[in-house]
Each structure stands twice: as structure tokens, then as C-alpha cells.
Amino acid sequence: MKWNLFKKKAEPMVGPEPTGPDGTHPSHTMTMTPALVISTLADNSTESEGPSKNDMFEEIKSKFLNEIDKIPLPPWALIAIAVVAALLVLTCCFCIIKKCCCKKKKNKKGKKGKDGFNMKNMQGDTHQDDDDEEEGETGLTEEEKEEEKEEEKLGKLQYSLDYDFQDNKLTVGILQCADLISMDSGGTSDPYVKVFMLPDKKKKFDTKVHKKTLNPVFNESFVFKVPYQDLGGKTLVMSVYDYDRFSKHDIIGEVKLPMNTIDLGQPIEEWRDLDSVEKEEARKLTVCILEAKNLKKMDVGGLSDPYVKIQLLQNGKRLKKKKTTVKKNTLNPYYNESFSFEIPLEQMQKIIVAVTVFDYDKIGKNDAIGKIFIGSKAAATSSKHWCDMLTNPRRPIAQWHPLQPEEDIDGALAALWAKK
């Protein structure tokens, strides 16, 4: 039922004029007071006694205008508010339409990606379908993207090897590079090749720099004089760099050849893909000298000026040496100084680290206070430290070592080399 409530102008209700007994009108008349009439209209009524639609619209319009007139704002402010409201509505409508269009495009791209790359079966929940749509935008899954990054080529290097058994000389030829990645903003590089042997790195050779090319031709040769019996413990490194005049040269990639895996019975000439140098840190041995305590008194005043010398040894030969700073007038020096050595992983078992504490003297020879050596063939305590380090890569292993007289350690090392 629809309830229509509206006021009607009340009309006086006049009854039939009374007559007297003799049929004449009395001298006064009777009138009724105005009253409110409420009428109810059913939907199925055919006659409408209420106001028309136009009347109702006019009534709402007049009420709306009356309410606006009550607002204490000038007309221009009301017009501005109306314009802003209209713009907001239009903006919302535009965003909704654009979002719908973008969804349709994504769905189309998703279908193309799935057809082209033979995606996994589409059975599953809604979450899996959403993931497939995202993968369809590029046509690659996350695993495929990672594989693509890993397979990114850095370039190739062509080299030659020729060993002269009579003169104990290894001739390394750097022939050319191809398909190098660009390192400069112009889409080219200024490549050159650095050649050296690990672990000693005493001799380093550099080729000439070739400007603005990704396919340089070098045709340069370098000679390493190494006895054949020592060659097996070395690694040949050929690193390709991009030359920069005003900053550090950027490494493009490298080729590493453990010589114990190379047959030098005949000359070799071949291409190798350049490897990334990101894993270089994994081949570094870092020795950190932390502190010393209760050192022997070496000076007249009852103190010492200690410093520490680190030597990297292999088969009785010194490969590298490093020194700490000198700490003046103390028997308990604190250093906390680190030194890194490049060592191929396969050579770690053959390396000895000798550590000697010296008393610095401005005049005369520096006297040794004490010495130790660490390695797989060292004494029980030092050998355990070495094994703990090898079994926990990238984790610093700290340990105290009692100093021994230098003569005793030198004798132990000589006996160790004699066994080999």
C-alpha cells in the first residue's frame, strides 16, 4: 500500500437546509470548522486524487532552493562547490572505466604468454590463476627469469698455452675476445687482459688497451718461467678489464685454469666463456692479528716495540708476506689488523701460515720474540684452528696460540719440507 499524506483545503460542509415544521427556513444557519483529511490510495487504484508528478517535482525543487537560500554563502561559492563536486564525479567515472580496460588488456596478454611458453596446467585455486596472469605479462616464470640472469654472457676469450720442457717456460698467448658486454655509456668498452699466476701473483702482465670495441684482437704473448714440478700447484688467471682513465678499472670477467688439470704435452689453443668474479672472495684467506699478551721484555726499560710478520709458505717457498704496525712500549699490544691472500681452494691443504712477533729496533736487527705456524700439517692446536677455519667458510675463527722460539719453529718447518 502507498500512503499519500497531503493537506486539502477544507471546504465547509453544509448539510441540507433545515426547515421548520411548516416547511420554512429557520433564522440561522450551521457551519462546520476546517479539518484535515487523510486519504490512502492503493497501487491498483485507477483514479488519483493526490498531486501530479509535476507538482511533486516543483514542491521538491522549491524546498531544495529554500534550503540553499538558508546557507550563509555567496552564490559564486556555491557554484564553485558544485563545479568541484562535478569534477570529482567525472574523475571517479574515468578511473573506473580505465581500470576495466586495463584488466581486459592484462587478460589478453596472459593468454598469449601461456600459449607461447607451455605453462603448467591451469587447475588449482584462484590464487594460482592470478599468479599465472602476472607471469603471462612477460611470458616467463620466476625460475626462468633467474636462469636467464645466470645465463647472461659476459663474453669469450681465446688463448693459447705452450710449455717448453727444456727451458721450463710456459708461454701464454692472449689472442682475442668476442662478444664482450658493454661497460661504457656509449655501448662499448675499452678492454685489456691481465695475466698472472696464483697463489704468488709475483708476475703480472697486461695487454694493450683497445679503445671502444667489444671484439678486441690482441695477439700478445707472455712467458712464465716455472719448473714443471711446481706448475701443478698453480692457477693461471686471465682477467678482462674495462679501462677507465679517471676511476678504477672495472673487471668484465675472467678465465681461471688450474694447471694440474691441463695437459701440456702439446700446444693448446681454445675459446673459453668469461666467468663472473663475484665468487672471488670465496678463494681468499684472511688472517686477522687481534692482540698479544705477556710478551717477552726486549728493551732496557722492560718493555718492547712489537709488530707481527705474516708469511704465506708453500713447499718451503715464501709466496707472500705482510706486516702489522709497530706498537710502542708495550707487552700487551692490540692490533686488530686483517690481511687477505688469494689462494685456490685446491691449494689450501698445502699452504702454511707462519706468524712471527718481532721487537722493532731503529738501530740494528729486529729481534724475534716468538713464532708459530698454522696449517694442516701443524701441531695439534694450530692444526685444529686450521681445520675449524676450513669447515666454517666465511666465518671468522679466533684462537690463542702460545709463541715458541723462532729456532724451534724453523726446525719444525724444515723437517716438514724434507718429508715432501
Going by pLDDT thresholds of 50, 70 and 90, the confidence category of residue 210 is very high
Question: Do 322 and 339 form a contact (C-beta atoms < 8 A)?
Answer: yes
Statement: residue 384 has pLDDT above 60: yes
Q: Which domain holds residue 391?
A: 282-419
pLDDT tens digits for range 78-105: 788 888 888 888 888 888 887 776 655 5
Please tell me whether residues 230 and 291 are part of one structural domain.
no
Question: Do 2 and 44 form a contact (C-beta atoms < 8 A)?
Answer: no
- CA proximity to 409, closest of 381, 383, 370, 364: 370
Residue 71 lies in a domain: no
- pLDDT at 332 (0 to 100): 95
Please tell me whether residues 162 and 244 are part of one structural domain.
yes
- pLDDT at 341 (0 to 100): 86
- pLDDT at 36 (0 to 100): 35
pLDDT tens digits for range 282-299: 478 889 999 999 999 998
Question: Do 223 and 171 form a contact (C-beta atoms < 8 A)?
Answer: yes
Residue 85 lies in a domain: no
Residue 5 lies in a domain: no
Statement: residue 224 has pLDDT above 70: yes
- pLDDT at 268 (0 to 100): 94
Please tell me whether residues 413 and 355 are part of one structural domain.
yes
- pLDDT at 272 (0 to 100): 95
Domains held by the chain: number: 2
Statement: residue 73 has pLDDT above 50: yes
Please tell me whether residues 305 and 404 are part of one structural domain.
yes
What does the pLDDT average to over 47-61?
A: 62
The overall average pLDDT reported for the chain is 77
Element containing residue 105 per DSSP (H, E): helix 75-117
How far does Cα 57 stand from its chain's mean position? 66
What does the pLDDT average to over 10-37?
A: 45
- Tell me which DSSP letter residue 44 carries: T
pLDDT tens digits for range 306-322: 999 999 998 888 888 99
- pLDDT at 92 (0 to 100): 85
Please tell me whether residues 216 and 332 are part of one structural domain.
no
Going edge to edge, which strands form the sheet with 235-242? 204-206, 191-198, 235-242, 250-258
Distance CA 367, CA 358 (A): 6
Please tell me whether residues 297 and 258 are part of one structural domain.
no
Residue 350 lies in a domain: yes
Please tell me whether residues 295 and 410 are part of one structural domain.
yes
